[in-house]
Amino acid sequence: MTQHDALDKLVEDRAKLPKFCPSWCTSGPAGHAEAMLEGCDLESASMHLSADIGGQQDEIRNYVTGEVVRPGKGGWRVQLRQQVRPGHRLDVPLLGVECHIRESATPTAYVRTELNLTTSEARKLAAQLLHLADAEDLRRYDTL
């Protein structure tokens, strides 16, 4: 591909970038164009992305013995993503949940996993997690 062909392709691809974004997309049309100029291909530069939020998994030790009950230094990231296909067709928005947890046997090794959930699946999972967390945490006060 000559330099002229590459420039033609860049101009052609840039015309295919999203012109409008959902309210949660942090890129905006200018951000999608900037991603392409920074080297992202059309598919990557077109993806709508929310702010990415996350948390840290802390190490938990037995208060008395100091024994590590759960190794920490892991964490998670959550981000809403929506791929834009040719012709400005939108895929279903998905909540990407990425977790990395340190293996207890090998302190420098991490286990990573990623889930891509629909908004309905994310709501159900969040409700079920809250229900189970409440069942355990609030049980402690049942006898008071």
Smallest distance, Zn ion to C-beta of residue 48, A: 4
**Which amino acid type is present at position 34?**
E
Smallest distance, Zn ion to C-beta of residue 86, A: 16
State the Cα–Cα distance between residues 70 and 60, nearest whole angstrom. Answer: 5
**Which amino acid type is present at position 121?**
E
Tell me the window of 6-14, 48-56, 121-129, 135-143 that interacts with Zn ion (CB under 5 A): 48-56
**Which amino acid type is present at position 127?**
A
Interaction between residue 46 and Zn ion (CB under 5 A): no
Smallest distance, Zn ion to C-beta of residue 50, A: 9
**Of 56, 90, 60, the residue nearest 73 (C-alpha):** 56
What does the binding site for Zn ion look like in residue numbers (CB under 5 A)?
21, 25, 27, 48
